[in-house]
Amino acid sequence: MAQQTNQTGNEAEKTVRDYQMLQEQLRSATLQLDQLQIQKAELEKAKDEVGGASGKVYITVGSVIVETSKDKALSDIKEKAELTEVRIGSLTKQLNELKTKEKTLSEKITQLYKQSQGTG
């Protein structure tokens, strides 16, 4: 019986560690998603600004600002926006998978706790 209790304790510790690691992954993925959504909003604003521009258009290349055509700037913005959308979709899918794993681990921790209390 003592061996089973020890085994349950080891399993509980491992499950809690896994849960903590998963929580960190969720925080990191959420932060990345927030950053991508900010980037998407900035690209939308840039598209509107360039689209409404009647004069010269400039872009930054590294630490240098260079003149470019309006069409080229809009094309670059569109390309970056599409890439950002793909990354948002991928990260959203990853977040959903992590949340599912989180729920499963949370339920397992609850079950192990109940077992250790003798109510499982």
Compute the 3-state secondary structure of the chain and give helix, strand, coil in percent, each to the nearest 5.
80, 10, 10
53: left (phi over 0), alpha (psi -120 to 50) or beta: beta
**Residue 64 belongs to domain spanning:** 2-116
Give the integer Cα–Cα distance in Å for 112 and 106: 10
Model pLDDT, residue 112:
85
Question: How many distinct helices (H) and strands (E) make up the chain?
Answer: 2, 2
Model pLDDT, residue 116:
78
Q: Which pTM was predicted?
A: 0.80
**Chain center to CA of 71:** 32
CATH of the domain at 80: 1.10.287.370
The span from the first CA to the last CA of the chain, in angstroms, equals 15
Model pLDDT, residue 1:
47
Residues 6+ apart with CB under 8 A from 106: 19
Model pLDDT, residue 92:
97
Count: domains in the chain: 1
- CB contact at 8 A, 98 and 25: yes
Which regions in the chain score pLDDT beneath 50? 1
Model pLDDT, residue 51:
92
